[in-house]
A and B are shown apart, each in its own frame.
Chain A
Amino acid sequence: MAMGASALDTIVLGTPVDEARALARALSASWLELPPMGAGDADWQAIRERVTSHAPCPRVVLAVWCEAPRPGPFVSMSPDAWLARCEAPLIAWSVALGCAADLCADEGSIVAVIEAPNSLDASEWVPESGVSDAAQALVRSVAHAEGPRGVRANAVTAPLRLAPSQLVAPAPPLDRFPGELADEVAGAVEMLLSPWASGITARTLAADCGRA
């Protein structure tokens, strides 16, 4: 946990998947559940209203992840797969980051944890690559919009469940690739949330054991 922080200081806004809840536990953070990927407009509007009535929080972490991602060629996806792999996550990240901006207290910090296939390993992870880049751009947008009230917004990217079993050469510098959620990823999040990162905003930190 970040210096001087308590569970009450940190909220994880996450989609209802086990890995997102595990991140909240690793950070000793409280949990605010987002609708599942693919939720309708009314559900997303409801979470916006819920966040608006919530007390401001100094540290907000986002884990907007889908259930069990599976790779596959870009053009042979079914329409349902396309919606699940790309459109639904894009909507979810957009609403969630807007919620994070509303929830974050003045002088607070937002960190989005984004599952991102490394470029070398991105074949058959094309929609996920698009979602990852979009989420990072949205984080930077929030950093620009909320910076005037002292709010920082950064991203941590990690391959996590998108790491392939067979890697394109060369091998990552650290052989513990792709790393563990509770160790490498949570550690990067805590660093960005901490006062040690008070001058860092609109940045992406790749917690990928050097793969990028």
Chain B
Amino acid sequence: MVVSKPVVLVTGASGGVGRGIALACGQSGWTVWIAARRQEEGEGVAREVTEAGGRGCFVPCDVSVAESVESAVATVVEAENRLDGAVHNATSALSPRPVRLGEVPVSDLRDHVAVSVRGTWLLARETLPHLLEAQGALLLLTSEAGFEGKAKLSPYAGVKAAQRGIGRALAREWGPKGVRVNCLAPLAASPAMESAFELDPEMADRVLGRNPLGRLGDPALEIGAAARFLLSRDASYVTGHTLMVDGGSCSVT
């Protein structure tokens, strides 16, 4: 029996952790669709996936817009005739911006919610029929911020926690259908983290000072590999779980 390699879609994969997940899947020969707004960067990551041994493709996608997610998923399924896994990694560009909760413009709160949480719903809604057919998996990128809260990144902490709550409950709802749902909480060397460190100069000491391994994770080798595991058949009995890939940093799991 020939078992074909999985086909997965990763949102927000034009850079950072999403790119790392895409590359890790590519290294195992998987077909990876980069679903992102930035076409040039997304096509670049798709080429990297192909160079890594997989097959990379780009599809434009704004995860906060129903028609865009619908079109992106339809494009993938039309081309591949299947979808084994979907990863929601995209977050608001406002994520690393430090701000006091009482002073966050309501429009900014809505942007956080639209990208992280509405994006989760839209991606789940559009991919479920195909994940059902493939008995596949949905993976949501959350954060240690969603466990412990963040004094200066409250909106980010809130939406990341929302994704974890959704993932845990959705695993219970989709489990009888044979579709798994998990979350992954990375601490990665990414452009978003670099930006957060620049905007809050004390943040690097706070983040790394408590980290037993004393460093940020590699987006492909460490974060991506863990994501690939959760998407793969090797994790066929893992659902409703949040895997911390944070070097032991978060103390409240």
What residues of chain A lie closer than 8 Å to B128, measured between beta carbons?
75
Kindly list the 9 A-B residue pairs having the minimum CB-CB distance in the complex, ordered from nearest: A140-B149, A133-B165, A98-B102, A137-B161, A129-B169, A141-B149, A122-B169, A144-B151, A134-B162
B154 beta carbon closer than 8 Å to chain A: yes
| Given contacts A86-B121, A137-B157, A45 and B106 within 8 Å (CB-CB) | yes
- Main SS of the interface on chain B? helix
Contact with A along B127-171 (1 / 0, CB 8 A): 010000000000000000111111111110111111111101110
Cα of A138 to Cα of B44 in the assembled complex, Å: 37
A136 to chain B, nearest CB (A): 7
Task: Tell me the A residues contacting B by CB distance below 8 Å.
Answer: 41, 44-45, 48, 73-75, 77, 79, 82, 86-87, 90-91, 93-95, 97-99, 101-102, 117, 119-120, 122-145, 202
Contact of B113 among A90, A102, A123 (CB under 8 A): A90
Residue of A nearest to B152 (CB): A145
Number of residues on chain B facing chain A (CB within 8 A): 46
What residues of chain B lie closer than 8 Å to A41, measured between beta carbons?
106-107, 110
Contact of B158 among A74, A138, A202 (CB under 8 A): A138
What residues of chain A lie closer than 8 Å to B109, measured between beta carbons?
90-91, 94-95
Contact of B162 among A45, A90, A98 (CB under 8 A): A90
Q: Of residues A77, A97, A137, A145, which shows the largest number of chain B Cβ atoms within 10 Å of its Cβ?
A: A137
Cα of A74 to Cα of B138 in the assembled complex, Å: 14
Q: Of residues A94, A122, A128, A136, which shows the largest number of chain B Cβ atoms within 10 Å of its Cβ?
A: A94
B101 beta carbon closer than 8 Å to chain A: yes
What residues of chain A lie closer than 8 Å to B163, measured between beta carbons?
130
Q: What would 9 A/B residue contacts be, using CB atoms closer than 8 Å?
A: A86-B121, A87-B118, A91-B113, A98-B154, A130-B117, A133-B166, A136-B161, A138-B154, A141-B149
